[in-house]
Structure 1
Amino acid sequence: MSRILLEDMQQIVADTNIPWNSMQDSTVLITGATGTIGSAIVRALYAANQQLKLNIKILTFGRDTEKAKPLVSLYGAEFIFQDICEAVKVDGSVDYIFHCAAVTKSFEMVSNPVGVIETSIKGTFNILTLAKRKHVKSMIYLSSMEVYGLTDPDIPSVSEADLGYIDLKNPRSCYPESKRMCESLCNSYFSQYDVPVKIARLAQTFGAGCVKDDPRVFGQFSRSALARKNIVLHTEGRSRGNYCYISDAIRGILLLLLKGENGEAYNIANPEASVTVREMAEIVADKVCGGRISVNVDVPPDVASRGYAPDVTMRLNVDKIKKLSWQPVYGLAEMYERMIAEWRGR
C-alpha cells in the first residue's frame, strides 16, 4: 500500500468505537470486492488481521479474475468467481456479509437500464437468500443517497425518512428505483426471516484507493488537477452533491455492521462536504491547485444522453449514524489532496 492508504487503514483499525473483537475468527463475504468500497473493506479487514490478530477469513465474490488478483496476493482474500444474478454457493459458514455489488456507471444506466435493474434485484435477492441460509450474524446492504430522488427543497437536511420523487419514465431512474426495491427486499427478509441486515445510504465516496480512470465527477476533477488543466463542466453545475472520504465511510459501514439496528437505513456523509458541482470545482481549482487552473462551462448538445443524475438540492442528515459514535475526519479539499497524493505514489 501507499503511505496514504496505510494511514487510512491504520485510522480505521484504531477506531475504538468499532467492536473489533466480535469479528474474531469469523468468515466475512464481500460482493463487489473489486469496486471502490468493496476493495477498501478488504484492505481494512486485512489491516485488522495484521494489527489485531483477528484471524478473519475474507471471501470475495466477483466476475473479473484479473482485478481480483491483488485481493488474493496482497490481502490474503479468497476469490470466488460468481455472477450474483445466478444462485450463489459458498461452502462452510459465513458470519458477516457486505453486499457492495452494483452497476454504478452513469452511461450504463442509460444504455443498459434492464441490466442495472437485473443486477440490483436478482443479486440482492440471491445474497439475502444466502444470508438466511447461513444464519449470518449481520449483513450490510450498500445503498445510495440517490434513493431520495428529488426531495422538498425547503427541507434543511434530508433524514432517512424523507424520500422524494423519482421519474419512472426516465431510464436513468433504473438505478435509484432498483436501490429502493433492494432496500424493500432487505426489510422484507428482516421482517419475515429475521435476517439481520442494515442499510448504508452512502454519499458519493472517494479518496485514496480510487482508480485513476474513475469516470465520476471527482475523478474528472482530480485528473484535471493532476494535469494542471482547467476544469470543464458539462452542466451548469447547480446540482448539490454530498460527499464522504473513503476511510470515513468504511468506519461508518463497520459500525453499522456491528452496532447498527437491524432493518434500519443510515446516511453516511460529511455534512461539511455538501456543495454544488460548481462549488466543488472551484474548491479544486482554488484550494487544491492554488488557483493555477480555472473552471469553465461547456454544455454539449447531447447532454441529456450522458446519464447525468437530475439536479438535486438535498443535504444529507447524519444524526442517526452519529448516535453510533461516528464522526467524519476529512473535509472536501483533503479528500482530493489525499487521493491525488496516492495517485502520485506518495
Structure 2
Amino acid sequence: MNKILVSGGAGFLGSHLCERLLHENNEVLCIDNLFTGEKKNIVHLFDNPYFEFLRHDVTFPLYVEVDKIYNLACPASPIHYQYDSAQTTKTSVLGAINMLGLAKRTGARILQASTSEVYGDPEIHPQPESYFGNVNPIGVRSCYDEGKRCAETLFFDYYRQYGIDIKVVRIFNTYGPNMNPDDGRVVSNFIVQALKGKDITIYGDGQQTRSFCYVDELVDGLIRMMRSDNGFTGPVNLGNPFEFTILELAEMIIKITGSASTIINKPLPSDDPRQRQPDISLAKDKLEWEPIVKLEDGLKDTIEYFKELIKK
C-alpha cells in the first residue's frame, strides 16, 4: 500500500483523484487550504481509515512521510486566480519548491499538474509539447500562466540537479461533477445559467475553440503518468483532442437542459486564447491513454450534478 499525498485534494480534480486512489487500495493524505477546494467534495471519504485530510497551504513547508506526491494545488479558474494574483504565483512557485523539497527528502516520485495555459494564445494548432508558447508575462492571466511555467522549470531543475523522480502533465479543459458553480469556467457558467433560465454569456463572438475532457478520463491519465516506469518525465498533454467552439458548447447545453435561455455576447477578456486543442500523440504513445467520452455524454452527468447542487 502506497502512501500518496495529493495537494489541492479537496478541489475539483483533486477530490476525484483522492477517491480513485483509495479505490485502488492506497493510503491518501489530502492537503488543501480550502481557498477554492471544498470539504463537501471529500466529506464522504472521511470514514475511510486510509484517508486523512490536513488543512495546509503549500506555500509553507510540510514534513510528512509519503511514497508519491500529486501536486495539484493552485486556483485554476481566472475569477479565482486573479482574486489574489500575487498569492497565485506564490502557490505555483513556492508550492513547487516545497513539494519538491518533500520529494527530495523522502525519495518520493512527484507529479506536477501543469496546464495548457503554458502555451498562452498559441500560434501553433493543435499544441504539441515541443511548442514553447506565446504567453504575455505581464498580463492579467500571467500570475497563473507564468507561475505554472516556472513550476515546470523548477521540476526539471530538481530532476537534473538532484535526480528527483518527476512527472509533468499539462492539463487541458476538464469538466465533470464537483466543479465549483461560481468558478467562472465556461462549462459551469453555461450549465448554471441554463438551469436557472438566465442569459448565457459568451465572451467575444463565440468562435474561439476549446477541447473538453471528462474528469474521470483525466484522472486516469494522471494515474497512468504517475505509474509510468519507462523513464518518461513529460511534459505530456492530457486533454480531449476534439475541438468545439464556445458557441457550439452553449447550444449543446441549452439543448440538453431544455432551457429557454438566450445567448448574449460580451467583450472578450484580455489575453483570452482564441484556440485551445491538445496534440495527444505523446500520451497515446507513452501512456496508451486516449479519452473516449463524448462531450454530450459527459455534459449530461455534469448537468445532473449541478441540478442536485442548485436544489440544496
**TM-score, normalised on structure 2?**
0.89
Q: What residue is the counterpart of 2:56 in the other structure?
A: 82
Q: What residue is the counterpart of 1:3 in the other structure?
A: none
Matches of residues 274-285 of structure 1 in structure 2 within 5 Å?
274-285=243-254
Q: What residue is the counterpart of 2:43 in the other structure?
A: 70
Shift of residue 229, structure 1, vs aligned partner? 4.0
**Is 1:103–2:65 an aligned residue pair?**
no
**Is 1:339–2:309 an aligned residue pair?**
no
Q: What residue is the counterpart of 2:274 in the other structure?
A: 312
Q: 2:117 aligns with which of 133, 146, 150?
A: 146
Q: Aligned partners of 1:178 and 1:37: how far apart in 2?
A: 19
Change (3 A) 1:211 1:167: closer
Q: Aligned partners of 2:159 and 2:44: how far apart in 1?
A: 31
Shift of residue 162, structure 1, vs aligned partner? 1.1
Q: Aligned partners of 2:132 and 2:13: how far apart in 1?
A: 24
Shift of residue 314, structure 1, vs aligned partner? 3.6
SS of equivalent to 1:159: coil
Q: Aligned partners of 1:228 and 1:74: how far apart in 2?
A: 38
SS of equivalent to 2:31: strand
SS of equivalent to 1:271: coil
Q: 2:290 aligns with which of 319, 327, 344?
A: 327
Q: Aligned partners of 1:313 and 1:105: how far apart in 2?
A: 17
Higher relative contact order (CA 8 A, sep 6+): 1
Change (3 A) 1:71 1:88: farther
Opposite residue 16 of structure 2, the aligned amino acid is A
Q: Aligned partners of 1:66 and 1:209: how far apart in 2?
A: 9
Provide, for residues 4-40 of structure 1, a one-character-per-residue CA deviation record: whole Å limited to 9, x for no partner: xxxxxxxxxxxxxxxxxxxxx1100000011011101
> Cα RMSD over matched residues?
2.3
Conserved 8 A contact 1:102-1:120: yes
SS of equivalent to 2:112: strand
Provide, for residues 92-112 of structure 1, a one-character-per-residue CA deviation record: whole Å limited to 9, x for no partner: x31111100002231344442
Q: 1:59 aligns with which of 24, 29, 36?
A: 29
Opposite residue 19 of structure 2, the aligned amino acid is R
Shift of residue 345, structure 1, vs aligned partner? 4.8
Conserved 8 A contact 1:235-1:297: no
SS of equivalent to 1:58: strand
Shift of residue 255, structure 1, vs aligned partner? 0.3
Q: Aligned partners of 1:277 and 1:327: how far apart in 2?
A: 23
SS of equivalent to 2:24: helix
SS of equivalent to 2:141: helix
Report sequence identity in percent: 26
Provide, for residues 165-220 of structure 1, a one-character-per-residue CA deviation record: whole Å limited to 9, x for no partner: 11123132111111011001111111111111111111111112324444311111
Conserved 8 A contact 1:203-1:244: yes
Q: Aligned partners of 2:83 and 2:178: how far apart in 1?
A: 27
Conserved 8 A contact 1:230-1:294: yes
Q: What residue is the counterpart of 1:195 in the other structure?
A: 164
Mark the runs of 5 or more structure 1 residues left unpaired by the alignment: 1-24, 50-55
**TM-score, normalised on structure 1?**
0.80
Provide, for residues 245-272 of structure 1, a one-character-per-residue CA deviation record: whole Å limited to 9, x for no partner: 0000000000000016443111111112
Q: Aligned partners of 2:239 and 2:211: how far apart in 1?
A: 6
Change (3 A) 1:345 1:171: closer
Q: Aligned partners of 1:143 and 1:280: how far apart in 2?
A: 25
Q: Aligned partners of 1:109 and 1:26: how far apart in 2?
A: 32
Q: What residue is the counterpart of 1:167 in the other structure?
A: 136
Q: What residue is the counterpart of 1:134 in the other structure?
A: 106
SS of equivalent to 1:175: helix
SS of equivalent to 1:120: helix
